[in-house]
Structure 1
Amino acid sequence: MNKIKLLVVAFFLISFASFAQSNDQPLKIGYTNVEYILLQMPESKQIESQLKDHSTQLENQLKGKYAEYESKLQAYEKGAATMDKTIREDKEKELMNMNNSIQEFQRTAQMSLQQKEKSLVDPVIAKIDKAIKDVAKESGYTYVISNQALLAGPEDGDISPLVLKKLGVDPAKAQQTPEPAAAKPATTTKPATSSKNTKKKN
């Protein structure tokens, strides 16, 4: 699941959970890992599956565009020497336009994949954010921070199991699941050759 870690980091930069308490209550700090919690949720596999499908669709479109370009390039190179100058220049212009179109599609496909991932992850992050705040309020935590910024702390300060329970996930079944493999962006197909391949032949 590409860039989830960055999204989670951004979440913590703008959304540290802080809770006011009366002065007679002691300072109580908890910590958790949003990325870990996200990966334990059922939505995680759904997000990964949808991103994979979206990426596959984009890659198939890109492969189709590149196959068409390669076919026309080969036909041009085979017959360029015998082509009329006007026809040859028209073919070269067509190939250049196709080349530019492929490169533009690669850029927009990458953006599309990023936007898709953000649209899928953001609602789940918001759900986790609410659960963290609810747990902190119910358990009397003054602050909740990311364990990625924690250098040392007591084990009982980890509220991840409480947050998972609040989200309906059985903490006993939760494991230190590694981050899923990133969905490959639709830019793995060999880029179209540059316009030098369509250089005019006298």
Structure 2
Amino acid sequence: MILTRTFRLALAVAALTVAAVPAALAQTTAPATASAGPLKIGYTNVDYVLSQMPESKQIESQLKDYSTQLKNQLDTKVTEYRTKGEAYQKGAATMTDVIRADKEKELTNLQQSIQEFQQNAEQSVQQKQQQLLKPVLDKVQKTIDAVATKNGYTYVFNSDAGYGTTPILLHGPKDGDISDLVLKEMGVTPGQNNQPAASVKPATPAATPAAPTNSKTKVKKK
């Protein structure tokens, strides 16, 4: 599932600073002690893990239904705006100045309402996505912790930091990838879903309808 940076899993590695990484690697050359174990570093692709989980399809379906409801409400507003706009254009020439001004104000308010609803709809879908993803992300985090403990990994990095950002892991051996181990720990067969789940965004018109104008009539300014 393709997620925005805001909703990504807060891995334990996020707590590491740039200075802490060299310090940790330095442990491999430091004198061994009775309590210190060998440093083992693994990595996983959180988006890949999420895309393989059955919950991802359920979330996508719920988000699609939620987005469709918002789109239908927006379409109703747009239809009302266009209907009243067409009526205004047909009858503007015979309207009094007071009625014409009132109709134009009504259309302007409807246009602003559509713009606000469109913006709120996008934010609402993002919030809904965050709400649905939280228990799944918590499950992934707990599983990563369990796999790391079971297989002796000291640190686990995320190999995919998202679009427009640099991945936390730039290079690593294949045997350090614990993604499939995480999936198996959750009872999911790796590779069963070869197509990543697409992100769901509110389906809205490309642009808010422009306010209708009437070239033959002008509102008198007092």
TM-score range, shorter chain: 0.7 to 0.9
Runs ≥4 residues deviating over 6 A: none
SS where residue 188 of structure 2 aligns?
A: coil
1:74 counterpart residue number:
86
| Pairwise CA distance, 1:189 | 5.3
| Distance in 2 separating the partners of 1:90 and 1:115 | 37
| Pairwise CA distance, 1:152 | 2.6
| Distance in 2 separating the partners of 1:46 and 1:147 | 25
Alignment CA distance shift 1:90-1:121 (3 Å): same
Unaligned runs of 5+ residues in structure 1 are none
Larger proportion of helix: 1
| Distance in 1 separating the partners of 2:92 and 2:141 | 62
1:29 counterpart residue number:
41
> Higher Cα Rg: structure 1 or 2?
2
1:45 and 2:64 aligned: no
Identify the match of residue 169 of structure 2 among 150, 161, 184: 150
TM-score (norm 2): 0.78
Question: Contact (CA 8 Å) 2:92, 2:214: kept in 1 or not?
Answer: no
CA RMSD in angstroms, aligned pairs only: 2.4
SS where residue 209 of structure 2 aligns?
A: coil
Unaligned runs of 5+ residues in structure 2 are 16-23, 25-33, 161-167
2:126 counterpart residue number:
114
| Pairwise CA distance, 1:175 | 4.8
TM-score (norm 1): 0.85
Amino acid at match of 1:11: L
What percent of counterpart residues are identical? 53
| Distance in 2 separating the partners of 1:128 and 1:197 | 55
Alignment CA distance shift 1:198-1:111 (3 Å): farther
| Pairwise CA distance, 1:153 | 2.2
| Distance in 1 separating the partners of 2:14 and 2:114 | 45
Identify the match of residue 179 of structure 1 among 196, 200, 206: 196
| Distance in 2 separating the partners of 1:165 and 1:17 | 24
| Distance in 2 separating the partners of 1:5 and 1:69 | 33
SS where residue 144 of structure 1 aligns?
A: strand
Identify the match of residue 169 of structure 1 among 188, 193, 200: 188
Cα deviation per residue 1:35-79 (whole Å; 9 max; x = unaligned)?
Answer: 101111110000110111111111111111001100001100111
Alignment CA distance shift 1:57-1:176 (3 Å): closer
1:11 counterpart residue number:
9
Cα deviation per residue 1:103-131 (whole Å; 9 max; x = unaligned)?
Answer: 11001111111111111112111110010
User: Greater CA deviation, 151-160 or 26-35?
Assistant: 151-160
| Distance in 2 separating the partners of 1:63 and 1:183 | 18
